[in-house]
Amino acid sequence: MDNSVFLIVLVAAALHAGWNAMVKVGLDRRSTMLLIALSQGAIALPLVAFAPWPEGAVWGWLAASMVFHVGYNVFLAEAYAHGDLSQVYPLARGSAPLIVMAVSTAYGARFTGGELLAVAAISLGIFAMTLKGSSAGRMRGRAVFWALGTAGFTAGYTLVDG
């Protein structure tokens, strides 16, 4: 991997973890999530001028992507309202690859044994962080519900956005 690509991925991961922490510690998680989304939109909006106007069939995919991203934001804010960052984040992020793999398989994708093993091992490792408990104790049912919903929306936008 090229060093510049590695650096971009590293910065993106740090930004992602940072804004998740901001949502968790924010007094009003919904308002914090809204401000973050509006800031992201303000940064991205000028870039629209450099992209071609979407053709007809693309609008459905854009609408689906928007629904999945809004659902992700709502569910993530609720998950943090009911659970600890150290539990919600791993469950929400670790479940999405399994959901993507299951949906992809349902639509005819085939994975090698090594690919299945790799996704399972990574997801199980991430789940282990969730199940061990934290200073807040074991993860509550509502937090699990919202975190898994977040994972579902993450899988949705991953599949739609490509």
Q: Where are the alpha helices (DSSP H) in the chain?
A: 3-25, 29-44, 58-82, 85-106, 113-131, 141-161
User: What's the predicted TM-score (pTM) here?
Assistant: 0.81
How far is it, in rounded angstroms, from Cα 57 to Cα 44? 22
Neighbours of 88 (CB within 10 A): 25
153 and 72 Cβ atoms separated by less than 8 Å: yes
User: What is the residue-averaged pLDDT of the chain?
Assistant: 87
Average pLDDT over residues 15-35: 79
The pLDDT value recorded for residue 159 is: 96
The pLDDT value recorded for residue 133 is: 59
Confidence of residue 132 (pLDDT cuts 50, 70, 90): low
Confidence of residue 137 (pLDDT cuts 50, 70, 90): low
For 28-80, the pLDDT digits (tens) are 878 888 888 888 889 989 998 999 999 999 999 999 999 999 999 999 999 98
In one-letter notation, the amino acid at residue 63 is A
- Please name every residue paired with 137 in a beta bridge, in sequence order, or none if there are none: 134
Q: Which position has the higher pLDDT, 136 or 141?
A: 141
